[in-house]
Structure formats: C-alpha cells, structure tokens
Amino acid sequence: MREKMQQIKDTKAFQSLITSVIALVISLLLGAVIIWLSGYSPVESYKAILGFSLGTKKGIALSLSQATPIMFTGLAVAIAYKVRMINTGAEGQLYVGAMAAAVAGAYITFLPRAVHIPAAMFCGIMAGGLAALFVAFLKVRFGAGEVITSLMLNQVLILFTSYLANGPLKSEGSGLAQTEMILETAELTRLIPKTQLTTAVLIAVIAAFILHFILTRTTYGYEMKAIGLNVDAAKTAGIHVSRIYLRTFFISGAIAGLCGASMALGTNHRFVEGFSVNYGFAGISVAALAAYNPLGVILSAILFGVLKAGSITLNRTTPVPIEFVDVIQVLVVILVAAPTLIRALIKPFSLLVKGGK
C-alpha cells in the first residue's frame, strides 16, 4: 500500500497537480492582499464571489458560460504544446471561426436544425483549422517560427473579419460592425433559460475527452509525445515530424475556430466586431495551469470562470475592482510555469516546519 502511494506521488501528473494547487493558493492569497490594499475585506469578497458563483443557479450558469471560450482556447494551446509549439494564433483563428459559422448560420436557409448547427460548427472548425494549418505549413516548408507568423496572421485575420463585418456582410440598418443575425435553426440550445449557458460548454468538455483519448490511446498521440520529448530522437525513430506538426496545428486551430463558432452561434447569434476579450491569449494561462493536460483544462477553465463570474457580480454591488481576477489568473500561471520557483518559495517554510519538529 505504501509503495503504491509512493508510486502515485512520483508520477508527473500528481506532481504537477500539487504544483498547480500550491500556485493557486499562493495566488489567491496574493489576490486577497490586492483586495485588502484596495480597502476591502478579502474574506467578505471571496465569500461573495464563491457564494454567487457556486451558490446560485444564475451564478453557476454565468461561471460555466465564462469558462466555455477559455476552455476551448486552453485546449487549443494544450494540444499544440504536446509537440512543443505554442499557438499564439488562437485569437485570429477564433475570429475567422466565428465569422465562418455566423455566415453559415445566417445565409444557409434550407437546413433543419439537426443539420444546420453541425454544418455551421464545421465551417468554424475548418476556418480556424486552415488558418493554423497555414502557419504550420510556413514552419515546415520555410522554417518560419510559428509564434511570430501566428501573431502576424492574427492581425491579418482580425482585420479581414472586421472588414467583412463593416463592409459586405454588415447587418443592414445596424449602426454596429456586425453581421446579420443567424437563423433560429443554427442557434445553440440554452441549457438554462435566460442565461448565456448553451450546449457549447458540453461540446468543449467532449472535445477535451476526445483529445485525452487521442493523446493516451492512439499512435498519433504517442508520436506527439515522442516529438515533445525530443524532436531529433523522434525523427531518428522514423516519425514523420512535419506531418505531425501540420496535423496537430490543424487540430489546435480547429478547436480555436470552434471557440469562435460557439460564441457566434450560442452567445451573440452573429459575428460582432471585437467580441473576443483576448480569449486566445487567456488560453495560454488556462493551459499552463492545467500543465497542458486536456482534462485539466476543463478544471482550470471552470476555476477561472467561477472567479470571473463572481467578480462581475461583486463589481455590481461593491467597488472591488474586477481586474483583480485577471491578476490572480496571471500570478497562477507565473507560479505554475516555474515549479522550481514555487519550491524556492516554500523552502523556507518547510525548513521552519522541519526545524520545529
């Protein structure tokens, strides 16, 4: 029994879980300091946040709907990181994904609901996937670093969708830069009426399980891990590295596209210029907190969703600044990303404890 416990403790997954939890606790404490410095009671604030987010139906719905987009982008970043690529292009990919889905949702008029939603989703997936595939192609063919090309492509894609929403696809008679409303047959079903919570969250969770399955149970997943551990060794072992890069980035972009599609079909019911509040970049924090584990992404996204939803409500009743959640989010990532940093931070404490004994 003891041996078994030791085995569990030695696994990487367990260690990264511990790191994440410690990082989270430290960050929440730092968050408390921030609240306290702003002149409010940290205990009351956290109570209010959790009380709303976990204690009320509306709060749970808001938490999950806030978690959905970052769950998608977190998955997009996590899967690409398996081959040690960082998808900084999720922001652009989710914009084209949303545009493609919104266009399919508004202009395809003859499909029944059961086909229309998947069809519109598919358009979003393809748009995001192809955008990412282009970046991977530039890497494989010309050796161009994906981080910089993705950042450039982000600008191009965001500007292009903005052009469409302001120009040829602009909703008639609307003062805002947005496309026509999608048809009812393309709208995602609301899980709780009168909230933003739609079936999108289920799609995200299913996507996470599929990715987990791919990573742990398929040859492709094995090849990805091999590349992640050592590219040169993987090459020597006969793995088609370029092909895996292309495929992985396509999947990553497809999930980011799905994020945009779910926003267009579920939340906004159309493409709205500037709808993403850096969801693509937030995905990097979500994935890092989850140690790039797809199932972990579900949890870390929900966690940030809970904090976000709580602070939105808190902000309506008390003047506690909503931004402190974003700061906590980054602090968690900084601490998680550097496990050795955490060890250095807690070393004095553990010495104290041991010394006390």
Partner 1 sequence: MGNIANLTYVVLVSTLRMSVPLILASTGGAFSIRCGVSDLGCEGMMIAGAFFGMLGSYITGNPWLGLVTAMLFGAIFSMIHAVMHVTYRVNATISGMCVNLLGTAITPLLLQVIWGVRGKSAQVAAFSPLNLEWMKKIPAIGRMMAAQNIIFYLTIVLVVLGWMFLFKTTAGLRMRMVSENPQAASTVGINVTGYKYFGVMMSGIFCGLGGAYLSLGQMNMFIDGMTSGRGYIAVVINAFGRFSPLGALAGSIFFGFFDSLQTVFQGSVIPTQWMMMLPYILTLAVISVGLRKSRSPAGVGKYHE
Token pair, residue 308, equals 């976000």
- For partner 1, the binding residue among 288, 297, 309, 312 (CB under 8 A) is 288
Closest separation in Å from C-beta 166 to partner 1: 7
Q: Look up residue 57 and give its two tokens.
A: 């139906």
Output 143 or 175, the one with its CB closest to partner 1. Answer: 143
Among 22, 32, 58, 162, binds partner 1 (CB under 8 A): 162
Count of residues that bind partner 1 according to CB under 8 A: 47
| Dihedral angle sign, alpha carbons of residues 259, 260, 261, 262 | positive
CB closer to partner 1 out of 153 and 183? 153
At its nearest, how many Å lie between partner 1 and the CB of residue 69? 16
Query: Of 276, 328, 323, 260, nearest to 300 (Cα)?
Result: 328
Q: Is residue 285 involved in binding partner 1 (CB under 8 A)?
A: yes
Query: Is 326 a binder of partner 1 (CB under 8 A)?
Result: yes
55 binds partner 1 (CB under 8 A): no
174 binds partner 1 (CB under 8 A): no
Do residues 263 and 94 touch, judged by C-beta distance below 8 A?
yes
3-state secondary structure of 80: helix
Site for partner 1 in 335-354 (CB under 8 A): 337-338, 340-341
**According to CB under 8 A, which one of 206, 330, 351, 353 is a site residue for partner 1?**
330
Q: Which stretch binds partner 1 (CB under 8 A): 112-120, 156-164, 214-222, 263-271?
A: 156-164
Residue 35: C-alpha distances to residues 50, 190, 201, 318 (Å)? 15, 34, 30, 12
- Report the half-sphere exposure of 124 (CA within 13 A, side-chain side): 32
H/E/C letters for each residue in 215-260? HHHCHHHHHHHHHHHCHHHHHHCCCCHHHHHHHHHHHHHHHHHHHH
Contact flag: residue 96 with partner 1 (CB under 8 A): no
Note whether 143 binds partner 1 by CB under 8 A. Answer: yes
In angstroms, give the least distance from the CB of 281 to partner 1: 6
CB 86, min distance to partner 1, A: 4
7 binds partner 1 (CB under 8 A): no
> Taking CB under 8 A as the rule, does residue 163 contact partner 1?
yes
SS3 338: coil
> Strand, coil or helix: what is 198?
strand
CB of 314 to partner 1, least distance (A): 13
What distance in Å separates the CA atoms of residue 342 and residue 346, rounded to the nearest whole number? 6
Q: How far apart are CA 233 and CA 223, in angstroms?
A: 11
Cβ closer to partner 1: 61 or 259? Answer: 259
Q: Which two tokens stand for residue 152?
A: 């450039």
* Residue matched to tokens 């079909």: 265
Compute the least distance from the CB of residue 271 to partner 1, in Å.
14
> Helices 146-166 and 90-107 sit at what angle, rounded to 10 degrees?
30
Judge contact between 140 and 209, C-beta under 8 A. no
Of the residues 1, 5, 110, 142, which one makes contact with partner 1 according to CB under 8 A? 142
Please identify which residue in 99, 126, 153, 226 interacts with partner 1, judged by CB under 8 A: 153
Q: How far is the CB of 202 from partner 1 (least distance, A)?
A: 28
Residues at the contact surface with partner 1, assessed by CB under 8 A: 34, 37-38, 84, 86, 88, 138, 142-145, 147-149, 151-156, 159-160, 162-163, 166-167, 278, 281-282, 284-285, 288, 319, 321, 323-324, 326-327, 329-331, 333-334, 337-338, 340-341
